[in-house]
Amino acid sequence: MAAFIVLLGPPGVGKGTQAKILAETTKLAHVSSGDLFRENIKNQTELGRLAKSFIDKGELVPDDVTISMIRDRIARSDCEAGAILDGFPRTPAQADALENMLTEFGGEVDVVPYITAAESILVERASGRWTCREQGHIYHQTFSPPKKTGVCDMDGSELYQREDDKVETVTKRIRVYLRQTMPLVEYYRKGGKLLEIDGTQAVEQVTKELLSALNK
């Protein structure tokens, strides 16, 4: 049976990093809903145009559009053995739809790792990012600072902070995520599939715990 992993975690917890490591280690496809939206919109697919029509109006993309994108993606050959789902589902209703969809593909959600950390740590991680104006090189004021404050090591251009990376924006985004995701966390906890992992540990230790859970 195909194995599908739903990876949960708020902004700044390192979920994207872990998803890539897991995909390389397990050889399962990494299916990111954010990447899917960008891919469909860029390629101007029918679903991409439909999604963009809602995004342009500042509205949430309806579940049926998102689910159709996911269905198209996991129907590809690289998902025959399963996939790591990153960014989907976001609600219990989407989780129900996913379960129904996966039965068609002979699969099911095996485990739902939920990488957690205190809000203050998440804000520090996510709001410390600075970007180089010239070529977009990324720095972090705590974890990978430039040699000279405000200047890119690579090309000497000015470093700036995107609106998305500012403390106020990051704090709001994290709180919205936590509020919206709690029903989904409870959904998978009741189903006996949720596995909470301390995201404040070293990247290698988080990976080790994730792989240990998958092996079980």
In a domain, 171, yes or no: no
Cα maximum dimension of the chain: 55
How many structural domains compose the chain? 1
- Asked if residue 156 belongs to a domain, the reply is no
Task: Let me know if residue 35 belongs to a domain.
Answer: yes
Q: Does the residue 11 lie in any domain?
A: yes
Is 73 catalytic? The answer is: no
pLDDT tens readout for residues 156-180? 999 999 888 889 998 998 998 889 8
Dihedral (Cα; 30, 81, 110, 181), 10-degree rounding: 30
Catalytic residue among 73, 125, 173, 193: 173
Q: Is residue 158 part of a domain?
A: no
Q: Which residues partner with 107 through β-bridges?
A: 2
Q: How confident is the model at residue 1 (pLDDT cuts 50, 70, 90)?
A: confident
Which tokens is 216 given? 């079980």
Residue 50: CB atoms within 10 Å? 18
**Is 71 in the active site?**
no
Interatomic CA distance for residues 216 and 207, integer angstroms: 14
CB atoms inside a 10 Å sphere around CB 72: 13
Residue 184: which CATH number? Answer: 3.40.50.300
Question: What pLDDT is recorded for position 9?
Answer: 94
129 tagged catalytic: yes
Please give the C-alpha separations between residue 151 and each of 26, 125, 158, in angstroms, as whole numbers: 39, 20, 5
Residue from 27, 49, 162, 208 carrying the catalytic annotation: 162
Residue 162 placed within a domain: no
| 34 token code pair | 């954010």
Is the pLDDT reported for residue 69 higher than 90? yes
- Look at residue 77 and tell me if it is in a domain: yes
* Tally: H helices and E strands in the chain: 8, 8
pLDDT digits (tens, 9 = 90+) for 117-138: 999 999 988 888 899 999 999 9
> Has residue 161 been placed in a domain?
no
3-state helix, strand, coil in the chain (%, to 5): 50, 20, 30
Q: What is the pLDDT of residue 102?
A: 94
Domain containing 15 equals 2-117+178-215
- Position 2 pLDDT exceeds 90: no
Determine contact, residues 154/147, Cβ cutoff 8 Å: no
Give me the torsion for CA of 75, 77, 81, 83, rounded to 10°. Answer: -60
Residue among 15, 73, 125, 193 flagged as catalytic: 15
Residue 162 to residues 13, 31, 99, 191, Cα–Cα distance (Å): 19, 26, 37, 39
Active site residue 162: yes
**Separation between Cα atoms, residue 110 and residue 145, nearest integer Å:** 39
193 among known catalytic residues:
no
Q: Which two tokens stand for residue 26?
A: 């397990």
Give residue 19's pLDDT band: very low, low, confident or very high (50, 70, 90).
very high
Listed residue (74, 89, 66) closest to 30, CA to CA: 74
